Amino acid sequence: MGGAAIIAPRVEMYTLLVCRVHVPEYEPNNIHLVQPLSMLSMNTTRNEDWFTLDVPSIAHESARPMSLYIPASPAPSRQLFPDRNQCASDPVVQAVVAQLSAVLITTMGVLSCLTTAWWGSFSDRFGRIPVMGISMLGFLANNLTFIVTAFFLDYLPGGYWFLIFGFALEGVLGGMSTVIASSYGYLADSTHHSERSRIFSLSLGTTYSGAALGPVIGGVLIRATGSALSPFYLAVTVHTLYVMYIFLVIPESQTKARATGARQRRQVSLERRYNGLSRVRVILKSTIGLLSPLAVLLPERVIVGGNTLKRSKRDWSLCFITASYGIAMSLAGILTYLLQYAAGTFKWSPETISYFVSSMGATRALFLAVILPAIIKLLKQAPLQLPTNPDEPLQDLPSSSDPTRQNTANTPSSSHSSKLDLTIARVSLVVDIIALLVVILTSNGLLFACGAILQALGAGYLPAVQAFALEVYNRRGGKGEPGKLFGAISVVQALGSQILGPALYGFVYYKTVAIYPRAIFLLSVVLMMVSLGLLALVRVPTTGEEDVEGARLNDETQAPEIQISMMNDALVHVDDDEEPRRDDQTT
């Protein structure tokens, strides 16, 4: 909730901070820009006193006048001063804001992508609570950086570029991806595997509820205080209380035995991997290893029709699916520039933008929690399996000891589900494209909001495409190891939503804001069409499209695998979905 409350005020802060450096100056019969100050040096002496950022940011909607630029000794040539709307709509200010936002978000995304896996491993070895708390400290530090920059802009090195310190620290401490991973790890430790899907759903629903409620509270605070900084005070307070709650109240879920085992396994793995290598080669190998999860997405040879005598061909399905997923996830990088565009084009205040963000979050939560499950339940009717001979009963459930028959019996239902998942993913992309076209074609703020909220109905793409990717992966022989697939998808998601997306949209908006600011929406339409085209190349897998090795692996993974190894004269049992456990009884 605290993070969602500052989504709109953060864009407002960018605009106000940049406007203090790139000042739109109005003459009675001439409008031009003051020469911008150096971005790297803020030591230029000024004879004017700037306003603090606690001025009413919604004053243009009230009878009270608001001025962003208040000289100590007003000169005759500066009787008109730029207000908040002038800063938000000025092309130079918008271009610099886009550049600043792109650099900040991309920096955080790169560092978060590089550190999330390390923090995840750290939580296995030393517990979930330290990682959850440390990651939240990154959010707290970033929010404090905004407040410090607002009050001491003229004294900080780099001026508004000092904000990069907070974003870099948040990325190094793992960012949102580490918070989510550690939270899910905590829930997985604390619940039985049969209850995990329900608990995860409740956790996701709570997250979306906070995302919908936070902007509303932020908007109310802006109206009550007239300050664009007030939501940041709320975020700092909420995150501080949450960090205290994590460290002082929440019990650790990772047992000492499992943590010790994780540390021992890591030590053995490091010794095997880097034995005899120089420090430089170790660092190089570790860096290359960051992309190793993507190996499961490479095309594999499959047997067409299940006939081993036929020539095999490469299956590019997972490549196309994840490429489509990555391109679609890059759309998340447009949010900052969408809000910036709305503030400049429709003169929306931070309060209005907060309500707009809340509406999008609430629509998405309602669609994912209520509407989409109802649609799936209605359409996902398992097809009736007719008997193959008159003496066979209508429902002939094979025994669990016969994996071959079990796979065959489940194939029609599985294929039906795969078709439905793929259809939902494709339809969701079409909805995204239609919503973006509405945004492009409208010049009315209300229709713009309707188009953006309509896009929330395309949220069904994410769960549908992930479910379909898992089915394709299982048909290729990946049963029993879905973590590898979702690890690769997480890397693609981070690259698209936190690195490539913000950088691409920021660059385009920076270059086109003075000419055609809607270019970012045209770019979004093109990317969504490419994503849809990639999904169009994917076929629903059939029973026979499995390679020989994949079929063998499928048979082997029907029963839980039990590995027995000797460690400190104790047996260590490893089950499919359970952590290693010791049995000190010797056999």
Indicate if the pLDDT at residue 106 is higher than 70: yes
Closest of 563, 561, 582 to residue 255, by C-alpha: 582
Indicate if the pLDDT at residue 328 is higher than 90: yes
Coil, helix or strand at residue 165: helix
Domain range annotation of the chain:
1-260, 296-382+403-556
Indicate if the pLDDT at residue 33 is higher than 50: no
Cα–Cα distance between 166 and 139 in angstroms, integer?
A: 8
User: pLDDT over 70 for what percent of the chain?
Assistant: 65
Cα–Cα distance between 318 and 250 in angstroms, integer?
A: 39
Indicate the length of the chain as a whole number: 587
What confidence score (pLDDT) does residue 161 get? 92
Indicate if the pLDDT at residue 279 is higher than 90: no
Residue with tokens 């600043």: 100
pTM (predicted TM-score): 0.69
Cα–Cα distance between 495 and 463 in angstroms, integer?
A: 18
Indicate if the pLDDT at residue 145 is higher than 80: yes
Which residues have a Cβ under 8 Å from the Cβ of 218 and sit 6 or more positions away?
A: 4, 5, 6, 7, 8, 9, 230, 231, 234, 350, 354
What confidence score (pLDDT) does residue 54 get? 43
CB 134 within 8 A of CB 174: yes
User: pLDDT over 90 for what percent of the chain?
Assistant: 20
Residue pLDDT, tens place only, 340-371: 899 889 988 888 888 998 888 888 888 877 88
Instruction: Assign 25 a pLDDT band (cuts: 50, 70, 90).
Output: low
Instruction: Give the CATH number of domain 296-382+403-556; options: 1.20.1250.20, 3.40.50.300, 3.30.450.30, 3.40.50.2300.
Output: 1.20.1250.20
> Does domain 1-260 fall into CATH 1.20.1250?
yes
Cα 228 from chain centre: 25
Residue pLDDT, tens place only, 46-94: 333 333 444 333 333 333 333 333 333 333 333 334 567 788 888 888 8
Cα–Cα distance between 409 and 287 in angstroms, integer?
A: 45
Same fold, 1-260 and 296-382+403-556: yes
Judged by average pLDDT, the poorest of 142-151, 488-497, 532-541, 553-562 is 553-562
Most confident of 72-86, 188-202, 227-241, 281-295: 227-241
What confidence score (pLDDT) does residue 409 get? 39
Judged by average pLDDT, the poorest of 188-192, 269-273, 498-502, 574-578 is 574-578
Residue with tokens 């879905």: 482
Which residues have a Cβ under 8 Å from the Cβ of 401 and sit 6 or more positions away?
A: none
Span 241-266, average pLDDT: 83
Closest of 88, 48, 85, 49 to residue 65, by C-alpha: 85
Of the chain, the end-to-end C-alpha distance in Å amounts to: 53
